[in-house]
């Protein structure tokens, strides 16, 4: 199947074009596959980051709640000390049972 030097075999040209098209096709498929893998990886990383941030926020919230509980306990103890001081102060003027009754009746 030798053609004169100026003429090319049409089947060779067709094969060359089909190979170029399939190369571009493989390139597009490869690029789309790579894009899909990158997007999947990105989504997984974002989910992991979100989980880590939520865990950090939960730890901060737990520490804040613990601080509020401790502050409430200290406040309660301080209020009891002030009430005891009021009872002792009134016990110098009135009977101790009466001063305790008065302070207990006035306290919240």
Helix, strand, coil share of the chain (percent; to 5): 85, 0, 15
CA-to-CA distance for 11 and 2, rounded, in angstroms?
13
Q: What pLDDT was estimated at residue 17? A: 56
pLDDT in tens, 4-58: 555 555 565 665 555 555 555 668 888 889 999 999 999 999 999 999 999 999 9
User: What is the value of pTM for the model shown?
Assistant: 0.53
CA-to-CA distance for 80 and 78, rounded, in angstroms?
5
Domain map (residue ranges) of the chain: 11-106
């Amino acid at each position: 199947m030798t053609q004169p030097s100026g003429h090319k075999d049409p089947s060779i040209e067709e094969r060359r074009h089909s190979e170029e098209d399939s190369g571009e096709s493989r390139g597009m498929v490869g690029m789309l596959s790579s894009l899909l893998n990158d997007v999947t990886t990105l989504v997984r990383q974002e989910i992991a980051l979100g989980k880590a941030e939520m865990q950090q926020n939960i730890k901060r919230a737990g520490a804040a709640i613990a601080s509020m509980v401790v502050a409430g306990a200290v406040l309660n103890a301080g209020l009891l000390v002030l009430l005891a001081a009021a009872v002792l102060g009134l016990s110098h003027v009135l009977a101790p049972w009466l001063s305790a009754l008065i302070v207990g009746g006035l306290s919240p």
